[in-house]
Amino acid sequence: MKLERLTDSTRREHIVRSLRELIVSGAVPAGSRLTETQLSAELGVSRAPLREAIRELVSSGLLVSQPYKGLFVRGVSRRDLEELYSLRTTLEQMAFRECWSRRDDEALSDLDARHEKLVETTERGEDPVGAIELEMKLHSWCYELSGHRLLTDAWERIMPSLQFYFTLHQRAHSRPGPRLDAHETYVALAKGSDLAAMLAHLEEHMQQGLARTMQLLRSDAEPTET
Amino acid sequence: MKLERLTDSTRREHIVRSLRELIVSGAVPAGSRLTETQLSAELGVSRAPLREAIRELVSSGLLVSQPYKGLFVRGVSRRDLEELYSLRTTLEQMAFRECWSRRDDEALSDLDARHEKLVETTERGEDPVGAIELEMKLHSWCYELSGHRLLTDAWERIMPSLQFYFTLHQRAHSRPGPRLDAHETYVALAKGSDLAAMLAHLEEHMQQGLARTMQLLRSDAEPTET
DNA sequence: GATAATAGTATTGTCGACAATATGACAAGC
DNA sequence: GCTTGTCATATTGTCGACAATACTATTATC
């Protein structure tokens, strides 16, 4: 029997998850100023593990540290979104290529199962924020399928920012951000046999997502820079 | 006038650079076991900033942390190399695309200048390890040219591992690892006008690099796993 | 002799206090 | 009025000590 690694032993990991959740869910709005002292008091931990957790969030772009001034929750600017989408497109295309060259049918049916679960949750419509998280996990699963650890790591790094944006988006328009049909398409793509077509479709898919996103962004208040 | 930001104020940053240098240069061999206490004594700093530095190196894959056992300098396995090269190829192709769509002629001539400097240093042949570092910087410069911060970050994360391997390689065979003509080609590529050709050449270029590398690896002692 | 309990040791995880640093307000001088 | 120096304050950076944890060797027991 293989044991699932218990992920939560240390406080540092717990803090990372707590803080990420707070930011990504929008509970702490973009642009907010935080300080280590205040956080350590509120979270009930000392600053040592807190600082290590913060570094991690800074490294994934969710927080910006301005030494001796404070920590700021990073907003998602237009430019950030463009970069996020372009890098993401490149990474997912690569993931597709890797999956395609492996052709692991069993894993692909697992993908179906996961997709099914996502659809259920989303259609019930109870927990839109949770649905976004599930969508992220769906993509993560594809990366894991590729068996490419470095690639997966790269995705995991930009994922929180993406999730952050989707949640913002979701709150602003109280409509399901990510589209169900898009997921159908995505899963179908991942299972496709014509690689070139898959890549082209993915690219178009992403560009559409970005376009829709940018359009909505234009009607929002200008998001926080840096 | 725009001032360069002084990068070295804190100890954490200093430790990161010191440790990275020690590992990447091969002064601390792959597989070595390190402990926080020992390191803090040797480096003359307390464990607080040291731990933060260590996290960073773990995150970039140079160290592996085994809680309550120690820190281990990560070797570069065959599989690691494949992943490193494939991800790198994807990222550099993307960087090329971005640069190409910008067409910043001034910046491209800067690239020439940097290349010139690299050639000088390498041809003198005094400091092979330094030459590797210069090569890394040459690539970094291309990424910066792309103006894509996220992409550049992704590169900066895998760069230390790559540099690590090149240095290992260099020491093992005491021959210039990276090839000068390859740089010529690379710079020429970056300045090219036919994007599709550029991408194809880059891919071939990378595959050749990986092939040569794997061949040499086969003759080495099997590098440390995990 | 083999096995399980146990104490000892090495290592990381965490904490509270202190030092260093940057910032902003305010006063002094030109 | 504008600059410049100084000082108080807020914040991060660092430290040394202690607690928790996991590994190891030893011992006791069957």
Give the span between the Cα atoms of B194 and B203, in whole angstroms.
Answer: 14
d(CA A191, CA A196): 13
Report residue A173's pLDDT band, with 50, 70 and 90 as the boundaries.
low
Looking at the structure, do residues A153 and A179 belong to the same domain, yes or no? yes
- Whether A224 maps to a domain, the answer reads no
Tell me how crowded residue A38 is: count the other CB atoms within 10 A of its CB.
12
d(CA B9, CA B184): 37
Closest CA to A51 of A85, A11, A21: A11
A39 nearest nt, CA–C1':
D11
Same domain, A122 and A53: no
Nearest residue (Cα to C1') for C21? A68
Residue B59: pLDDT band with limits 50, 70, 90: very high
Q: Is the CB of A128 under 7 A from strand C?
A: no
| CB atoms inside a 10 Å sphere around CB A140 | 15
Cβ of A52 under 8 Å from any chain B Cβ? yes
User: How confident is residue B16, by pLDDT bands cut at 50, 70 and 90?
Assistant: very high
CA of B72 to C1' of C1 (A): 37
B30/B61 same-domain check: yes
How many separate domains does chain A show?
Answer: 2
Residue A62: the pLDDT is: 95
CA of B116, closest CA in chain A: separation in Å? 30
Nearest-Cα distance to chain B for A122, in Å, is 30
Structure tokens belonging to residue B109 = 């001539």
Asked if B67 and B98 sit in the same domain, the reply is no
Give me the residue from A56, A80, A154 closest to B154, CB to CB. Answer: A154
Report yes or no: B84 at the A interface, CB cutoff 8 Å: yes
CATH number at residue A204: 1.20.120.530
Whether residue A225 is contained in a domain is answered as no
Note whether A148 contacts B48, CB cutoff 8 Å. Answer: no
Average pLDDT along chain B: 82
Beta bridge partners of A72: A33, A64
Last residue of a domain, one of B26, B56, B73: B73
Residue A67: domain span? 11-73
- Residues A115 and A182 grouped into a single domain: yes
Residues A110 and A169 placed together within one structural domain of the fold: yes
- Quote the ipTM score: 0.84
Question: Encoding tokens for residue A211?
Answer: 């376009």
Looking at the predicted structure, is the pLDDT value of residue B219 above 80?
A: no
B4 lies in some domain: no
Helices (H), B103-194: 105-124, 128-146, 149-173, 180-191
Residue A225 has pLDDT above 60, yes or no: no
* B87/A52 touch (CB, cutoff 8 Å), yes or no: no
Average pLDDT for residues B197-220, to the nearest whole number?
77
CATH number for position A32: 1.10.10.10
| Nearest CB to A90 within list B90, B149, B158 | B90
Reported in sequence order, the residue ranges of chain A that DSSP labels E, i.e. its strands, are 33-34, 63-66, 70-73
Tell me the mean pLDDT in the region A74-86.
91
